Amino acid sequence: MVQQLSLVSSIPKSQYKVLMLCLESYTGMNPHPLRQHTVILKPKYPFTPEMAAGKVNQIESYRIRMTRVWDNPNGFSSNLKSSSEQQQNQVKTEPSSDSTSTSATTSGDTDNSKPSPSSKQGLKGEPILDTFPPGTESTRNSSIWTLQLSDIPAGGKRTVSIQNIYETTIYETDDIMGYVDELGYTPDIEFWNNGVRFYYNDIVIEVFRLYVHSRGGHGQQAGGGVGNGNVNGVHQVSLRLLDGSENYQVKCFVNVSKLNDLENVARGAKQLENLKNDLSGLLNLDVPDRISLDSRVNSRIVAGNINKK
């Protein structure tokens, strides 16, 4: 279990290069790639304890995030600079795009077994929630998955967000979905996280964007959408940006491994504040909204917040 102190921000795409250059100079390092495939799990059976008056109800069920490293078999070259250009160019499908434009933009990607010299092709990922078509195989069982549970961040007026995170790694399993099922969880959605990481003192700086299945959300298209294919025998679907405005998310965090290590919490908070000052003008780092980080199922404050909107 760790305590994670964090500050977040977002930047428009036009500032990405400037930010990269600044962070490279600031941290004195080249960015490390950050690519993750995450599946959100939620309890299979809703747990609804009786809400008795006068009784403190301390039982909550939480969602679980299941994460693995996302290898893009056809996507990235080792050169990160060109990959960032690639990011700039690809994924044109806007959320509102209809099926014709989707097929138009992704038609070039269907034959992706050939390595294309142009960097126009979109990102691809292997969805584990699809039934994989015949003739393909899944890497879901050969991957190393990490399960992550997160508490709602501590309340009160704070300069940084403090959140408890519980994490465990599954080393080996023959059937990951069966394992999850036995835990009493069922997959909800999946998304892909693509970006870079910097390290500065104890701080980890992540700049990333989220991708989802490109057919997502707009009616289930027959056949699992267009632009799918298989790469090296693995079923792949093309992805689109979750955020149509193509903004980048920036997350700066410090992990403190012990709950009672107040000294390091204070030190981490100080470091984050210094980083915030140093980057101010370029980035407006801020405490993330506590409610949006609440991963409890049937959370009443989340429900209340949505009703307010």
Partner 1 sequence: MSSQENNNSRQPSQQPQQHVPPPPPPRQPAQLTFQDIPVSALEKLRPSLNQLTHSLRAFNDSFISTPVPPPSASLPLSGSSSYNKTNTGTSTPNGNRSDMRVDLPNYNNLQNQFNVILSQLESLVRTLDASRSVLQSTNVFPNYEFNTTQFEGLLTTLLRKKHLPEVDAWIDESIAITTATTSAGGEDGSDGGQMSEQAKEQARVNANRVVNADDEFSQECFQIVQEKLAEFIFGGYLTKEEIEKGMKITEFGNAGFNKKKILERSKNPVTELSSSDVYQFISQGRDAKLGGV
Binding site for partner 1 (CB under 8 A): 8-10, 12-18, 21, 25, 38, 40, 42, 63, 65, 88, 94-97, 150, 188-189, 191, 210, 212, 216-218, 242-245, 247, 249, 286, 288-289, 291-295, 302, 306, 309
Nearer to partner 1, 18 or 144 (CB): 18
Q: Nearer to partner 1 by C-beta: 110 or 186?
A: 186
**Which element (helix H / strand E) includes 20?**
helix 16-27
CB of 60 to partner 1, least distance (A): 13
Q: How far is the CB of 178 from partner 1 (least distance, A)?
A: 21
**Whose Cβ is closer to partner 1: residue 96's or residue 118's?**
96
| Helix axes 80-89 and 16-27, enclosed angle (nearest 10) | 160
Q: Which residue's CB is nearer to partner 1, number 56 or number 222?
A: 222
CA torsion 293-299-303-308 (nearest 10°) is: -60
CB of 15 to partner 1, least distance (A): 8
Q: Least distance to partner 1 from the beta carbon of 296, Å?
A: 9
Least distance to partner 1 from the beta carbon of 263, Å? 28
The vertex-262 CA angle with 257 and 267, nearest 5°, equals 85
Residues 93, 121: contact at Cβ < 8 Å?
no
Q: Environment class of residue 212 by beta-carbon count within 10 Å: exposed (0-12), middle (13-18) or buried (19+)?
A: buried
Cα–Cα dist 254/204, whole Å: 6
- Least Cβ distance, residue 285 to partner 1 (angstroms): 10
Nearest CB to partner 1, comparing residues 88 and 110: 88
State the minimum distance, in angstroms, from the CB of residue 163 to partner 1: 10
Closer residue to partner 1, CB minimum distance, 137 or 243: 243
In degrees rounded to 5, what are phi and psi of residue 154? Answer: -60, 140
Nearest CA to 241 out of 205, 206, 198, 195 is that of 195
> Considering only CA atoms, which of 142, 269, 248, 151 is closest in space to residue 203?
269
Comparing CB distances to partner 1, the nearer of 63 and 124 is 63
State the maximum Cα–Cα separation within the chain, in Å, rounded to a whole number: 67
Q: Strand, helix or coil at 309?
A: coil
